[in-house]
Amino acid sequence: MTNQKTLASLAVLVQSGQLDPVALTEDTLTRIENHADKSIFIGLTRDRAEREAKAASERISAGRSLGLLDGLPVAWKDLFDLAGSVTTAGSVVLKDNPPAAADAAVVAALGGAGMVSVGRTNMSEFAFSGLGVNPHYGTPRNPRSADVQRIPGGSSSGSAAAVAAGLVPLAIGTDTGGSVRIPAAMTGIVGYKATRGRYAMKGVFPLAQSLDSLGPLCHTVQDAVWADAAMHSLTAPVIRRAELADLSLVIPETIVFDEAEAEVVSVFEAAIKRLEAAGVRVRRQAFPSFAEIFDLTARHGALITAEAYALHRERLAGPEAARIDPRVVVRTRLGEKTTVSDYIALLDVRDRLIHQTVESLKPGELIAHPTVPHVAPMVDPLLANDDLFIKVNAKTLRNTSIGNFLDFCGVSIPCGTGAAGMPVGFLVSAPHHQDDRLLSAALALEAPIRGGA
């Protein structure tokens, strides 16, 4: 009944009385329970969903709708506190923790817009991988793969798979190195990573607090705009669609195309041609700051591993370490090598590189490049070879992690398909706190970027 529906199309049905929120919620929960892939969700919040749907139904019937999102379903990456249920962060070591006493701030914000929380989606353990593999709760299948099992992308793997499989119109993820944009690109949906701090982080299990950000995974930029407004408690979006002729893109010539699959580059460049034909100005330039990020990391260690190690240090020193995915343990322990002076150097240079990058842009320009340099790889070879896993994970995170380090906001939009018919993502990014301008532009850019995709 509601397979692959957008928030916008469902809102028309619900607000007009053609679809009751109770029926929509029941249909959603039933389809999740009957879906062949049991690893997309870690758990459903059925009682809560039924209660919220009933309240929405009564409001709408009485003419007191809370707005366009009232009565529509949403799923949450298992980092967000949902009152009465346990936040496991994709790990078995937290599953015996007490249930959350209160909703995370953004959960409460979407609840305030009338959205119905249906459950918790699977993820890379502790959000520490761009691939989406989870040995405890299973690895969600990429719904777009027609041949063998391929990764969904991570760490918001279940959130992307839930939307791409048509189980929910919206799922909320987190993005510390690409964890919203990567799975969106690999499953052929839209993923918006907000500027860090755009939404309240209270009640969200962290990974690296100087990099952590949040964002919606959904089918269209329009849906992302609606979700964004509600996530910071606006009663309606304030973002206007830009004019294509007013938009300018700059394509980096540094790092982002290195060792990229030919099909990914071809599909991206075809989208660029469509944008130019539609009146968008496009130029290319080198970004030395991009290369310097990786040189800096080689010298001082990565900011993400330093902060993740500080967060999990006691856990890794105790018996719980044996119950954590060994790949996550190894990567987190890399942070032990980062000294205080290394960490301060990372923060100092980060500040300089952010300013240097922004100053290299012309007024109003947005940055455009492939979200990921390859399509979703097959799962089995990665599980069979730890060295390959590490290499592919690093390459998967490479393009998007630049945006986290430089505090960009970004939207990944599907632009076609590459090898094995798998989706390719087109990433549009803006400097920090320019989210409204980014989303305004993305509303206009989406159609030419997609072409027929």
Query: Is residue 310 packed enough to be buried (19+ CB in 10 Å), middle (13-18) or exposed (0-12)?
Result: middle
Average pLDDT rounded to a whole number, residues 263-275: 98
The predicted pLDDT at position 2 comes to 40
pLDDT of residue 370 exceeding 50: yes
> Does the pTM of the predicted model rise above 0.95?
yes
Quick check: is 193 catalytic?
no
Question: Does an H or E element contain 395, and which?
Answer: helix 386-405
CA pair distance 404, 10, nearest whole angstrom: 33
Q: pLDDT at position 1, please?
A: 34
Tens digit of each residue's pLDDT (9 = 90 or more) over 50-76: 999 999 999 999 999 999 999 999 999
Distance CA 115, CA 67 (A): 10
Which listed residue (179, 289, 412, 429) is catalytic? 179
Residue 447: both structure tokens together: 């159609």
Structure tokens at 411: 């939207």
pLDDT in tens, 207-227: 999 999 999 999 999 999 999
Picking from 151, 155, 153, the residue whose alpha carbon sits closest to that of residue 129 is 155
Residue 262 has a pLDDT of: 98
> How many other CB atoms sit within 10 Å of the CB of residue 445?
28
As given in the structure block, the two tokens for residue 244 are 């294509």
Active site residue 179: yes
Catalytic residue among 124, 145, 155, 156: 155
pLDDT higher than 70, residue 97: yes
Active-site option among 57, 77, 145, 429? 77
Residue 124 corresponds to which tokens in the numbers above?
Answer: 């890379």
Question: Is residue 38 annotated as part of the catalytic site, yes or no?
Answer: no
Q: Per residue in 409-441, pLDDT tens?
A: 999 999 999 999 999 999 999 999 999 999 999
Q: What is the mean pLDDT of residues 386-403?
A: 97
Q: What DSSP designation does 101 have?
A: S
